[in-house]
Amino acid sequence: MVSPLLPVYAETLGASGVWLGITFSVFAVVQTFFGPFAGRLSDRYGRKPFIVAGLLVYLVAALGYLTAQSFYQVIAFRAFSGFGTSLIFSVARAYVGDMTPRGQEGRWLGVFATADIVGFGTGPLIAGLLRQEVGFRSVFVAMAALMALSALILLWWLPRHSPAELARGRMEKGGERPKQAPFSTALRERLVIAVTTHQFLISLAMGASFSFLALRLENGLHARPLAIGLAFATQDLTGGLAQPLFGRLADRYHRPFLVAGGLIANGLLLACVGALPNYWLVVAVLMGMGATGAISQVSASAIQVVAGRGVGMGTVLGINSAANGAGIVIGSVVGGLIFDIWGLSHSFFFAGLVMVAGAPAFLTLTRGLHTREPARTGHAEFAEAAGGQ
């Protein structure tokens, strides 16, 4: 709800250029440092407490935006929300990875990503409507209310331990050491390097372009707040609804080719956003980006789960959280500099080029590696993980 509107909100408080990029991306600085440790600690102490704590951090940050009198304060609360990001996203994906049967990583991650991306898609739409009809402050109030509701839902319904966590607990009681490689060892695995590089390049491109998409739509194409929310929602809703289908494709076909093809198509479409003269053309391109991005992301997420089984699910997803944060930070700053020097459209050209360049890099890193494990029935997988409990 808040991320797409923060650069516009900060601009009303006096921010411009690089400061706008920092407003969008400062949360990622914190995520870069804390994300790996949150994922790794969740491997040891369990996922649920970290996710709930992250939601409460976001709740405090949302209330903080209400008190901001300058864009520096907006940046400070955005940074604080980055701590919440570290506790939520990689840990939640690790929880899903714990439950995923072997050979079905694509479809399970596709279902999870549907909720994830549809949420990201409807959030800007609701925020645009609230901002247009009530004002900016109502967006922050709504964000705080949704965070409180999410925390209550997880406290009530989410099991304290996933099946894989129960299995790790039994291993520790039996004197065995659960599989959890040090960061240095994990980063020597080519499969881990591949998915980390993919995440970094995607985030770099998004930071360099989507930090300024709301400004592109509002100042360049004279779109109203609700229309801006619709544009953001179009991409995410298209991608979210396509995730289950593409997840099944990722379980059947060569995953690295799907990742590379999605990157190339997504990058070419993204480069067009900066040059299109019409709002509806931009919306159509964003819809195409949602579909092409979905096939790349769900295939890469399935490979992440395979890598996580080897060195620790939370460890791999924590490293990816750091790559995500670093990519957004660097991309937003570089995008802001390009914006200041050459103009807004060049930020989108740069972002598209980054994505296209990522395709051969990913194929090279995954050449000769197994990115899929033999399929097993879900019942057998759960029985093995949970010991029949």
* Residue 361 falls inside a structural domain: yes
Report if residue 172 sits inside a domain: no
- CA distances 275 to 37, 77, 311, 323, Å, are 41, 33, 44, 29
The answer to whether 325 touches 29, Cβ cutoff 8 Å, is yes
Nearest residue to 320 (alpha-carbon basis) of 226, 227, 183: 183
Q: pTM of the full predicted structure?
A: 0.77
With respect to residue 198, please indicate whether it lies within any of the assigned structural domains: yes
Counted domains in the chain: 1
The CATH number given to whatever domain includes residue 219 is: 1.20.1250.20
154: containing domain: 3-164+179-369
**Residue-level pLDDT, tens digit, the chain, 389 residues:** 887 777 777 778 877 666 776 776 788 788 888 888 888 888 888 889 999 999 999 999 989 888 888 888 888 898 899 899 889 988 998 898 888 888 888 888 888 888 877 787 788 788 888 888 888 889 889 999 999 999 999 999 998 887 777 766 665 565 555 556 778 888 889 999 999 999 999 999 988 887 788 788 888 888 887 788 788 778 878 887 888 888 889 999 999 999 999 999 999 999 999 889 899 999 999 999 999 998 998 999 999 999 988 888 888 988 988 898 889 888 888 988 898 888 888 999 999 999 999 999 999 999 999 898 766 554 444 444 444 33
First-to-final CA distance of the chain: 39
Residue 348 falls within a domain, yes or no?
A: yes
pLDDT for 89 equals 84
Residue 386 lies in a domain: no
